[in-house]
Amino acid sequence: MDLLTETLASIRPVDPVMLEKAQVMLDKKTKPLGSLGRLEEFGRRFAAITGSLEPDTTKKVIYTFAGDHGVTEEGISAFPREVTPQMVFNFLRGGAGVNVLARHCGAEVCVVDVGVDHDFGELAGLIGKKVARGTRNFTKGPAMTRDEALAAMRVGIELAGQARAEGVAMVGTGEMGIGNTTPSSAIIAALSGTPVWEVTHRGTGISESALENKIRVIELGLAINRPDPKDPLDVLAKVGGLEIAGIAGLVLGCAANRIPVVIDGFISTAGALIAAEMDPHVKDYVFAAHQSVEIGHRFMLERIGVEPILDLRMRLGEGTGAALAMGLIEAGVKILKEMATFGEAGVAEGEY
């Protein structure tokens, strides 16, 4: 049995009994019923995912996957692809947005090279798992072979297994890859049948004419490659990205290992969408960090069936939204674990 098949076979729905037990605990806390809103949802779901009414949240890791995209040849980004390795070095120095926000919430950032067109060598903090030096230009054929897409997914699955072995309590997803909003839009358009123009936005901030070109490029890629919407791996290979594949594997691996996974924005959600198309139970293990400015993001979240935690008009990626949401999820868990009950506090339930 190959790793992907084995992982899919290990994914189970979250235990509804644990959800109910956690809710009973929350209802005994010194507050009106449901008065902490979604914080209660976070605590309840976290307990059910982990199978513990006193779950640990100490060790939090954000995996930022990096990969380049051949479709940048078509002028779909405001930045050249050389920025991808430059930003990898910035992550490793601790100077990027995700590093700042991860420090803020007490998370570690691990940078994973699955497809950057650069030889980094051995660098502290970099997980070197390069499958290829970027994808191919999907206006001229598939972005990846099926084997390349599977190899990148295996990287994510293996990282989830390693996280479980190391006692990681909560995983976040992030990415870096110039041009990667283009494959992300292509993925949701291919899977949902939604017109490309409805799910395609400005990415790094391109002009109106560049946006029109981006839409044309995606439409061309879909027409040439004809990805099968009933086969998410086919969609991923033909119009996706190596970092998106890595995230898809990580999400599947977290679900199989009962680790809560916090997905970041548009590109991370493209990876989570591929995972959820492979097994719908994946959504039970996913926390959607935020609603991105990218217009296709809402379509992805709705298709998976998850509700974003934040809407801060962000569109940076890297795992920045995941870092912020981790703090709120942890707050919900602490309410479950640390808030006094009516009995402990000597407060009459009927009077509050």
β-bridge mates for residue 290, sequence order: 310
pLDDT number for residue 248: 98
pLDDT number for residue 352: 60
CATH 2.40.340.10 for the 3-54+336-351 domain, yes or no: no
User: For the structural domain made of 60-330, what CATH number should be given?
Assistant: 3.40.50.10210
Using CB atoms within 10 Å of the CB of residue 339, give its burial: 0 to 12 exposed, 13 to 18 middle, 19+ buried.
middle
Residues 147-175, mean pLDDT to the nearest whole number: 98
Whole-angstrom distance, CA of residue 209 vs CA of residue 200: 13
pLDDT digits (tens, 9 = 90+) for 68-87: 999 999 999 989 999 999 99
Q: Which two tokens stand for residue 9?
A: 């076979």
Which value, in Å, is the radius of gyration of the alpha carbons in the chain? Answer: 20
SS3 of residue 227 by DSSP:
coil
318 catalytic? Reply is yes
Q: Reduced to 3 DSSP states, what percent helix, strand and coil does the chain have, rounded to the nearest 5?
A: 55, 10, 35
pLDDT digits (tens, 9 = 90+) for 89-105: 999 999 999 999 999 99
Sheet holding 261-263, edge to edge: 126-128, 107-115, 60-67, 170-176, 261-263, 286-288
Q: Which residue in the list 294, 318, 344, 351 is annotated as catalytic?
A: 318
* Delimiting residues of CATH 3.40.50.10210 domain(s) in the chain: 60-330
Task: State the DSSP string of 78-125.
Answer: SS-TTHHHHHHHHHHHT-SHHHHHHHHHTEEEEEEEEE-SS---S-TT
Which residue in 24, 25, 21, 32 sits closest to 350, CA to CA?
A: 32
pLDDT digits (tens, 9 = 90+) for 229-239: 999 999 999 99
The amino acid sitting at 220 is L
pLDDT digits (tens, 9 = 90+) for 4-53: 999 999 999 999 999 999 999 999 999 999 999 999 999 999 999 999 99
* Delimiting residues of CATH 1.10.1610.10 domain(s) in the chain: 3-54+336-351
Using a pLDDT cut of 90, give the percent of the chain over it. Answer: 95
Whole-angstrom distance, CA of residue 159 vs CA of residue 267: 19
SS3 of residue 126 by DSSP:
strand
